[in-house]
Amino acid sequence: DIQMTQSPSSLSASVGDRVTITCRASQTISSYLNWYQQKPGRAPKLLIYAASTLQSGVSSRFSGSGSGTDFTLTISSLQPEDLATYYCQQSYSTPQSFGQGTKVEIK
Amino acid sequence: QVQLQESGPGLVKPSETLSLTCAVSGDSVYSADYYWGWIRQPPGKGLEWIGYIYYSGSTSYNSSLKSRVTMSVDKSKNQFSLNLSSVTAADTAVYFCARVVVGRGYYHMDVWGKGTTVTVSS
């Protein structure tokens, strides 16, 4: 099974800051990488798929990059509504595993 | 607008079978364009992929649960289901259903249900 490791596990940033979350796969997964946002008490929401394709309706503040084993989710200018936990997920092979999550807090 | 809604018992006894249903509105479970998936989240923890099913009945399950998991699709009711047998306290979680898009080979879950909490306890 492919293991997905996110860093950091949590972060605190100010409104307007540029925020970067990293996801590393235990083996190469090409660009088969999704990013989800989960707000407290809510279902996850798809942000990015195929490593860098923005899901329809998602703010352009969010962007994704990477291929192979190393991936990045960037929030260009953090907003209060971005308070959430972010998960990466590989869809290269089953089980389509998730990272452990990165909790983003607002200073 | 596509919507998914999970339903099922909120409390299941140890060793029994957990049975959940996901009702789909605004789309057909018999669409060849999508798979239909299940994901769970234990209290205070991260997401765990359970598996998915295609309208044809083809399935893919998490190997860690494979011997206990069964999924099915019901065209007449436009819903799909999850059965998890021999449950223990470790199966206590919020269970989500989701629509799985496969575009250019890239699987991603674009529509999610709100989730249903299942507690395993005697």
A9: left (phi over 0), alpha (psi -120 to 50) or beta: alpha
Q: Chain B interface residues facing chain A, Cβ-Cβ under 8 Å?
A: 39, 46-49, 51, 60-64, 96, 101, 103-110, 112-115
Give the pLDDT confidence score for residue B7 in this predicted structure: 98
8 Å CB contact of B49 and A89: yes
**pLDDT over 70 percentage in chain B:** 100
Give me the pLDDT at residue B65, please: 92
If pLDDT is split at 50, 70 and 90, which confidence band does A67 have? very high
Closest residue, chain B, to A42 (C-alpha): B114
Instruction: Report d(CA B6, CA B117) in Å as an integer.
Output: 10
- Structure token pair of residue B63: 């190997």
- Across residues A61-77, what is the average pLDDT? 98
pLDDT in tens, B19-72: 999 999 999 999 999 999 999 999 999 999 999 999 999 999 999 997 899 999
- A6, A88, A94, A97: which to substitute to probe chain B, counting the most B Cβ within 10 Å? A94
Q: Cβ of A36 and B114 within 8 Å? A: no
